[in-house]
Structure 1
Amino acid sequence: MENETRPMPATSNDALYRFLGGSPLAVAFRLILLSILVGVVLAAIGFDPWNILRSIELLFRRIWDLGFDAVNWLWRYFLLGAVIVIPLWLLMRLFGGSPRGR
């Protein structure tokens, strides 16, 4: 087996990149942007970052008080999101947004 190739041991830098999913600076930037986006969505729902448990309790209480209107409310938000998410997912699957055969 004269042409046998051996994998090189991973350096600590390669292990860090593999663990984080990219360079640390790029990952930090993506996490910051995602945190801001999630923060905006949670603020729209009515969450308060300084009293998160009270905000969650208030959210569930409002949903409970809505009764069956909550089902209608959730269905409308589902449809609104699905109008964007489903076509984008389908396009990504059709045009190579994910690896094939795995």
Structure 2
Amino acid sequence: MVFRRDGEAGTRYGSGTMTRIFGGSPLGVLIRLALLCVIVGLILDQLDLNAFELFRWVADEIENLIRNSADVLRLIGRYFLIGAAVVIPIWIVMRVLNVGGRR
């Protein structure tokens, strides 16, 4: 539904649900998408890239990220345990001394 300047409501061709879903005329959107697919396919072919290789590369990079994150988390855990071996006993001693000092 479109509102005109004089306040009268009017309808416009293609203002249905499909137009809102596709972001324009469904046929026009499909034609633009098909043309864009051909252009991107041409560029990827000229760069000697294959879509399956691209997906494989993305999967490998995600796997490397997870593997490296696991190494980082392992190091952080190690540092935490080393620090806790010193900090926790000192904290316990300070708490005991504070309780004894208040009496």
* Global fold match (TM > 0.5): no
Structure of larger gyration radius: 2
